Amino acid sequence: MLKKSALRRIMVSTLALIIVSALYFFPDSTESSPFVQNVEYVNVDESPIYLLNPDEYVIRTNIATKSKEDLDLVREMIDALTIDSNKSEYISKHFSGVIPKGTKVLDLSLEDGLLKVDFSKDIFDVAKDMEEKMIEAIVYTLTEIPSVDKIMIFVEGSKLEMLPQSKILLPNTLDRSYGINKIYDITSLKDLTKTTIYYIGEFEDMVYYVPVTKIENDQGDNKIEIIIDELKSSPIYETNLMSYLASSVELESYEELENQITLSFNNAIFDDFNEQNILEEVKYSISLSIQDTLNVKEVIFKVDNKVIETFKTKEN
């Protein structure tokens, strides 16, 4: 009996020792501990960026960004556009930057939608046939930032008025009307019109967008109809420019308001008629094309007088 009582006391003491040890070595999680480090979480967004693909088209894709302030985001996007920069590891190997390695931003200012960027002279190290593509990539990337409407480019404090190798003259301020991946179909330099159409490129499981600006003499055709007809006629120009818009899709009517266009289609625009879904690539191709060509911020898709999708482009 004594043996049993002693054994019981030993077991109770041992259990108490275990509990005390556990409380000592594993304190309550609500208390601070020198062994626990604070972890800082960074919110990451995605921002559109225009890079070069292997066919030397300037293309639209997305990249992860962390900057919240406008000028910080401008610096981050320029860094991503620069060859072998700190952001290069975040870019698919299928694409490349267009700003020469080592190019630095010397000064930045943003006022009333006008962004002024002063680059180091390293920016002139770009190849002759890449000069204009570099300007297009800079302009299209930075004007994706909601507060940026126009850009002025400086080099070592002097305004860049002409590309030094190709001798292409630049306008006083640059915006998306400058065009991108330009294709000319003209007979004279009078009455020129520009229509930018976003086609689709693919790499493995990734889909990206290839904007092409058609420059031609004004034929009096409606630009909205031109965009839809061009996207229905894939492939265009080259076999690697695609569109997912079916040839059976019909634009029945449209309505233009300030910063908004409503498009009414037949039901052939549905990817799934039962679900009444519009394929994401179709929605983006049409909306991005209209945004660049007609400078609107909202595109509404309707079928049988019912709103199916609302695509908001660049938002303030």
Residues 172, 194, single domain; the answer is no
Residues 198, 78, single domain; the answer is no
Residue 156 domain flag: yes
Burial class, 148, CB count within 10 angstroms (exposed 0-12 / middle 13-18 / buried 19+): buried
Output the pLDDT for position 218.
77
Q: Which residue has the tokens 């004594």?
A: 2
Residue 103 domain flag: yes
Residues 304, 195, single domain; the answer is yes
Residue 17 pLDDT > 50:
no
Residue 4 pLDDT > 50:
no
Output the pLDDT for position 313.
67
Mean pLDDT to the nearest integer, 82-102: 92
Residue 292 domain flag: yes
Residue 167 pLDDT > 60:
yes
C-alpha count within 13 angstroms, C-beta hemisphere, residue 278 = 24
Residue 283 domain flag: yes
Output the pLDDT for position 236.
52
Residue 5 domain flag: no
Report strand pairing: 105-111 vs 183-185.
Answer: unpaired
Residues 202, 298, single domain; the answer is yes
Residue 21 domain flag: no
Q: Which of 6-10, 284-288, 293-297 has the lowest mean pLDDT?
A: 6-10
Mean pLDDT to the nearest integer, 61-88: 94
DSSP line for 80-111 = HHBTT-TTGGGS-TT-B--BPTT--EEEEEEE
Residues 78, 97, single domain; the answer is yes
pLDDT in tens, 221-230: 689 999 999 9
Residues 121, 231, single domain; the answer is no
pLDDT band at 35 (very low <50, low <70, confident <90, very high): very low
| Rounded CA separation 68/170 (Å) | 30
Tokens of 193: 């019109």
Residues 188, 168, single domain; the answer is no
Residues 153, 193, single domain; the answer is no
Residues 112, 229, single domain; the answer is no
End position of a domain, from candidates 149, 176, 203: 176
| Rounded CA separation 287/177 (Å) | 16
End position of a domain, from candidates 151, 176, 201: 176
Residue 35 domain flag: no
Residue 302 pLDDT > 70:
yes
Do residues 170 and 160 touch, judged by C-beta distance below 8 A? yes
- The residue with greater pLDDT, 89 or 34, is 89
Q: Which of 26-35, 103-112, 144-153, 163-172 has the lowest mean pLDDT?
A: 26-35
Residue 24 domain flag: no
Tokens of 263: 């498009």
End position of a domain, from candidates 117, 144, 176: 176
Output the pLDDT for position 37.
46
pLDDT band at 59 (very low <50, low <70, confident <90, very high): very high
Residues 207, 275, single domain; the answer is yes
| Rounded CA separation 178/286 (Å) | 19
Residues 111, 198, single domain; the answer is no
pLDDT in tens, 257-294: 888 999 999 999 998 878 889 999 999 999 999 999 99
Sheet with 150-155, side-by-side order of all strands: 105-111, 114-119, 150-155, 158-159
Residues 240, 163, single domain; the answer is no
**Strand ranges, E, within the chain:** 45-52, 58-65, 105-111, 114-119, 150-155, 158-159, 183-185, 192-203, 206-217, 251-257, 260-265, 270-272, 277-278, 298-303, 306-312
Mean pLDDT to the nearest integer, 152-166: 97
Question: Nearest-CA neighbor of 198 among 259, 287, 133?
Answer: 287
Mean pLDDT to the nearest integer, 297-303: 94
Residue 314 pLDDT > 90:
no
Domain that holds residue 222: 183-312
The structural domain count of the chain equals 2
Residue 119 pLDDT > 90:
yes
